[in-house]
Structure 1
């Protein structure tokens, strides 16, 4: 079972942690968006190829 890491008691340290996590979240959202776009492109390519061979 995973344990939750302890959080700092200092407000400034907590703010810094939140800012870091916000940055990580933004990066992950960008990655998801990029992957969704790539998936859409591949789906269109498959549809085009399917129409070509039928």
Structure 2
């Protein structure tokens, strides 16, 4: 995911944490001047199959 641009705007620059159901990333917003702070959380869906 590092280096990926999400929605044509947020470039992922670092993974900053993870847990059981998500990974949190630090992106930069390519459409506003620095400094800009935000986070992106990527959730992992649970399987409903048994």
Same fold by TM-score, threshold 0.5 exceeded? Answer: no
Higher RCO (Cα < 8 Å, 6 or more apart) = 2
Largest Rg, 1 or 2: 1
Superposition TM-score, scaled by structure 1 size = 0.21
* Structure number with higher helix proportion: 1
